[in-house]
């Protein structure tokens, strides 16, 4: 059918194969090796490593690569990043016992819904009570709420009666959404634009582990919010994967690696990272058989790039994570394990990041105590001692 069809791209071949491979007469089985990767967002060249990240239980990693833990308080909102024209808050939610996953350190609290506010007061110059001066560019303010249960994003303009707007139409703000899809035939995962979700033809071998990602381009800074998920129970029945040899083999390896008590067996045979990736893919398939209330969603936050021009003065950047983003920063006089921030972005590629000497509330890493970063509500970016935000209500 496609003899001499040399103009077909790899993405074309992938989409055609996904649609027609269910027919046993389909002759192009080798097209299963092609992928249709999402286009790179219209942004700057990507740095070699994130400026910082926070996720899981939650573990924070600043620009120095040293992790610290802040459990906070379940049911309350905390500020993660505070600067004159950008502020990020998150609710902390408790991990219910049936979702706790000690191998990933998911036993206490994680990030729930998030609220991001972008923009400054419409004045050209302002001196704060602490003597800091900020000259802004009259940015139009926009608020964005990321709902952890539905995965939806809602943006509105506070200065215009909280009028709801499309998030990607605000000057200075670009939003790109992606979702994770995995293939039981080859046990690999890729990111795809949400805009292409309805046009993609799926087969039974394609599963979605419930991981989505939103990239926010705020000027020259890039924030990445990843919505991850856990499913109730991790027991696997390898007979479920009889159609797909690679998935069945992966299932047996996972079962051999993890005993009924959850302790690693034959640790040298497979890396923890590979086990977690396999487990996430296999659990996603089994999760399609269970109702939605058996799924627990939570967020990770990564600062992929920080605009050095906007944050040249470290005093203008604060918050539980924000204060550790400028580099260099004083390093606490204590031993710790350096962890790359990429390792805590999603359970599909996570490793065991529990470190015995991590403090549970960030003592020695954060200014003050964790109570000082608690805000009255998710959308309040001003009412805590270290706020740097210059929104209209501050």
**Which helix (DSSP H) or strand (DSSP E) does residue 164 occupy?**
strand 163-165
Q: Output the pLDDT for position 206.
A: 86
Classify strands 212-218 and 86-94 as parallel, antiparallel or unpaired.
unpaired
Distances, alpha carbon 208 to alpha carbons 1, 43, 191, 380, in Å: 31, 27, 10, 34
* Cβ 282 vs Cβ 251: under 8 Å: yes
Q: Output the pLDDT for position 132.
A: 47
Burial level of 245, CB count in 10 A (0-12/13-18/19+)? exposed
- Distance between CA 27 and CA 36 in Å, rounded? 20
Distances, alpha carbon 268 to alpha carbons 188, 262, 265, 311, in Å: 22, 16, 8, 44
For the chain (394 residues), the mean pLDDT of every run of 10, in chain order, is 69 67 71 55 38 88 87 94 91 88 77 89 46 50 89 80 72 83 88 75 78 86 89 72 89 73 51 75 74 80 81 82 81 49 40 45 87 94 89 64
Q: Output the pLDDT for position 305.
A: 83
Distances, alpha carbon 96 to alpha carbons 37, 110, 297, 345, 361, in Å: 35, 11, 12, 21, 20
* Cβ 340 vs Cβ 201: under 8 Å: no
User: 196-215: string of b/e by CB count within 10 Å (b at 16+)?
Assistant: eeeeeeeeebbbbbbbbbbb
Torsion sign over Cα 260, 262, 263, 265 = positive
């Amino acid at each position: 059918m496609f003899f001499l069809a040399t103009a077909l791209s790899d993405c074309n071949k992938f989409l055609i194969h996904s649609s027609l491979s269910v027919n046993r007469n389909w002759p192009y089985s080798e097209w299963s090796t092609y992928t249709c990767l999402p286009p790179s967002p219209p942004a700057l060249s990507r740095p070699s490593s994130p400026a910082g990240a926070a996720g899981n239980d939650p573990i924070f990693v600043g620009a120095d690569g040293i992790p610290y833990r802040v459990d906070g308080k379940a049911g309350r909102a905390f500020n993660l990043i505070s600067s004159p024209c950008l502020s990020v808050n998150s609710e902390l939610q408790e991990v219910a016992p049936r979702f706790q996953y000690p191998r990933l350190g998911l036993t206490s609290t994680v990030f729930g819904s998030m609220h991001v506010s972008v923009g400054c007061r419409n004045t050209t110059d302002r001196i704060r009570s602490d003597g800091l001066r900020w000259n802004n560019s009259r940015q139009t303010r926009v608020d964005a709420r990321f709902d952890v249960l539905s995965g939806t994003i809602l943006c509105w303009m506070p200065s215009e009666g909280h009028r709801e707007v499309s998030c990607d139409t605000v000057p200075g703000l670009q939003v790109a959404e992606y979702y994770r899809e995995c293939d039981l035939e080859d046990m690999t995962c890729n990111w795809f634009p949400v805009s292409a979700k309805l046009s993609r033809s799926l087969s039974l071998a394609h599963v979605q582990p419930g991981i989505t990602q939103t990239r926010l381009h705020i000027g020259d800074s890039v924030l990445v919010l990843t919505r991850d998920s856990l499913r109730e129970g991790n027991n696997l029945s390898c007979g479920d994967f009889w159609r797909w040899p690679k998935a069945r083999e992966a299932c047996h390896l996972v079962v051999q690696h993890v005993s009924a008590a959850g302790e690693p067996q034959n640790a040298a045979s497979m890396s923890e990272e590979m086990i977690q990736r396999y487990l996430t893919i296999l659990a996603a398939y089994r999760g399609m058989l269970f109702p939605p209330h058996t799924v627990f969603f939570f967020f990770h936050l990564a600062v992929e790039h920080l605009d050095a021009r906007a944050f040249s003065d470290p005093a203008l950047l604060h918050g539980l994570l924000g204060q550790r983003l400028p580099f260099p920063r004083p390093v606490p006089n204590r031993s710790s394990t350096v962890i790359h921030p990429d390792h805590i972005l999603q359970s599909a590629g996570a490793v065991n990041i529990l470190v015995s000497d991590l403090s549970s509330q960030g003592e020695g890493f954060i200014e003050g105590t964790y109570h000082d970063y608690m805000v009255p509500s998710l959308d309040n970016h001003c009412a805590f001692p270290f706020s740097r935000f210059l929104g209209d209500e501050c």
